């Protein structure tokens, strides 16, 4: 009887050990996925602006989440997405590793690639070159404005969106990329092999309008509030001052924002002494950011804005409008009065969490309302190369106003 019992124990142990060997990897993955889920929940618990979490018991949400069996990362991401949906607030969002990586590149203003500005042409829906970046591998390879990128490393661009195409363009410095290009000049398809290099991407474009001999207007288009935007703006203003600019147009149309700090520091380059923005956190504590009163120029300034002007762009626009430093032309802005902090999670993904709201210097809450321009000027959608031309009604009205002023 003892022998039978011993054999039973022996086979039971073997069975347990075998099961552990078979299921241990899945168990480990499930534990890691649970950790990622709880990490996300905890960040929201401690940092999210609305401490009612859209009027729900956040701890009960946690209990419900723990019931999920999370065998893969994608399953975990979907559960985190479901958790965020309950907040009913689109700016708090999970960034999967690729999205998080792309966002860090955008805000840093530096990347490794070939240096092309691209767009999906609204008429043809083709991937089109807006322009090669100056002194980039793409420029040296002879790629021109309006060329079409048909294939990237043998993959058709027909079904790629702009982010997917940009991601395929980027890569390690020194690696090669093969492009199939339709030339806009000679109307022929050709192959081009280019070596990627490190590129510093300027977030702004500038020029000076000298069509009136006694009233030069400096034009600055700011596309993104990246980490290098402040220094680029400083350099540009000083250059335009040296070239004789008597007034300025700062174009914030379709600028989706970026780094909060960049918005504050760029406001300081233009503003005299005064408040730039007020922020309010989940405890209701109000903080403020101000200008010291040492702008780089006091010349007249017009801001161009539209419904794509959002976030840090609205902080800048609100500060310059309320302080009467600038006149706003264009259309009502997007209306994003919330501030996000970006947290890095395990597995190289990120969580953007709304941690505060803001008000303009005159204590206007612009969330979902936007900023009303001083002069409303409607404008049909322009192609990239039509901005700042005779077809750009908002730009032309700004030029006219500044010259009369």
Kindly give the residue spans of alpha helices, DSSP state H, lying in 196-323. Answer: 229-242, 260-270, 312-322
By CB neighbour count within 10 A (0-12 exposed, 13-18 middle, 19+ buried), where does 217 fall? Answer: buried
Active-site residue identified among 311, 312, 313, 323: 311
Question: CB pairs under 8 A, 24+ apart, for 9-12?
Answer: none
Residue 209's DSSP bridge partners are 217
Any residues with CB less than 8 A from the CB of 320 and at least 6 apart, and which? 267, 270, 271, 301, 303, 326, 328
Whole-number Å distance between alpha carbons of 363 and 360: 5
Burial class (CB in 10 A: 0-12, 13-18, 19+), 50: middle
Helix/strand/coil for 367:
coil
Which of these, 104, 158, 89, 153, lies nearest to 127 by C-alpha position? 158
Which helix (H) or strand (E) segment holds residue 129: the answer is strand 127-132
Angle at 281 between CA 276 and CA 283, to 5 degrees: 140
336 in catalytic set: yes
Q: How far apart are CA 211 and CA 21, in angstroms?
A: 78
**Spatial separation of the C-alpha atoms in residues 276 and 363, rounded to whole Å:** 11
Using DSSP, state whether 216 is helix, strand or coil: coil
Candidates 147, 251, 254, 322; catalytic one? 322
Which candidate, 149, 245, 153, 233, places its Cα nearest to that of 193?
153
Q: Is 322 a catalytic residue?
A: yes
Of 136, 206, 262, 336, the catalytic one is 336
Catalytic site includes residue 81? no
Q: DSSP letter string over 84-127?
A: HHTTT-TTSEEE-HHHHHHHHHHHHTEEEE--EEEEE-TTT--E
CA distance 109 to 318: 25
For the chain, the straight-line distance linking the first and the last C-alpha, in angstroms and rounded, comes to 108
- Residues noted as catalytic: 311, 322, 336
């Amino acid at each position: 009887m003892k022998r039978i019992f011993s054999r039973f124990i022996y086979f039971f142990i073997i069975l347990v050990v075998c099961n552990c060997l078979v299921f241990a990897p899945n168990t480990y993955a499930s534990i890691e996925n649970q950790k990622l889920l709880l990490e996300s929940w905890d960040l929201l618990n401690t940092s999210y602006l609305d401490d009612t979490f859209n009027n729900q018991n956040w701890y009960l949400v946690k209990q419900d989440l723990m019931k999920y069996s999370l065998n893969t990362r994608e399953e975990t991401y979907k559960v985190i997405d479901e958790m965020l949906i309950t907040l009913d607030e689109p700016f708090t969002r999970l960034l999967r590793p690729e999205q998080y990586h792309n966002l860090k590149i955008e805000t840093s203003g530096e990347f490794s690639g070939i240096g092309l500005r691209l767009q999906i042409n609204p008429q043809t829906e083709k991937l089109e070159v807006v322009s090669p970046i100056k002194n980039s591998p793409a420029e040296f390879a002879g790629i021109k404005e309006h060329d079409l990128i048909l294939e990237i490393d043998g993959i058709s661009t027909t079904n790629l969106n702009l982010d997917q195409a940009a991601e395929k363009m980027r890569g390690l410095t020194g690696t090669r990329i093969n492009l199939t290009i339709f030339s806009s000049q000679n109307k022929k398809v050709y192959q081009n092999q280019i070596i990627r290099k490190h590129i510093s991407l300027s977030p702004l474009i500038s020029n000076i309008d000298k069509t009136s001999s006694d009233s030069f207007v400096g034009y600055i288009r700011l596309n993104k509030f990246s980490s290098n935007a402040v220094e680029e703006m400083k350099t540009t203003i000083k250059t335009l001052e040296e070239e004789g600019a008597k007034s300025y147009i700062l174009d914030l149309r379709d600028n989706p924002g970026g780094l909060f700090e960049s918005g504050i520091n760029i406001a300081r380059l233009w503003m005299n002494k005064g408040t730039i923005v007020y922020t309010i956190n989940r405890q209701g504590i109000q903080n403020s950011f101000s200008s010291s009163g040492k702008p780089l120029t006091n010349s007249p300034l017009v801001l161009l804005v539209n419904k794509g002007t959002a976030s840090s762009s609205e902080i800048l626009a609100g500060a310059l409008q309320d302080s009467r430093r600038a006149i706003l032309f264009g259309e009502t802005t997007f209306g994003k009065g919330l501030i996000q902090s970006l947290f890095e999670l395990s597995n190289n993904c990120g969580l953007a969490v709304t941690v505060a709201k803001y008000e303009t210097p005159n204590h206007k809450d612009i969330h979902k309302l936007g900023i009303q321009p001083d002069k409303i000027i409607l404008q049909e959608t322009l192609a990239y190369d039509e901005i700042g031309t005779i077809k750009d009604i908002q730009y032309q009205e700004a030029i006219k106003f500044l010259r009369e002023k």
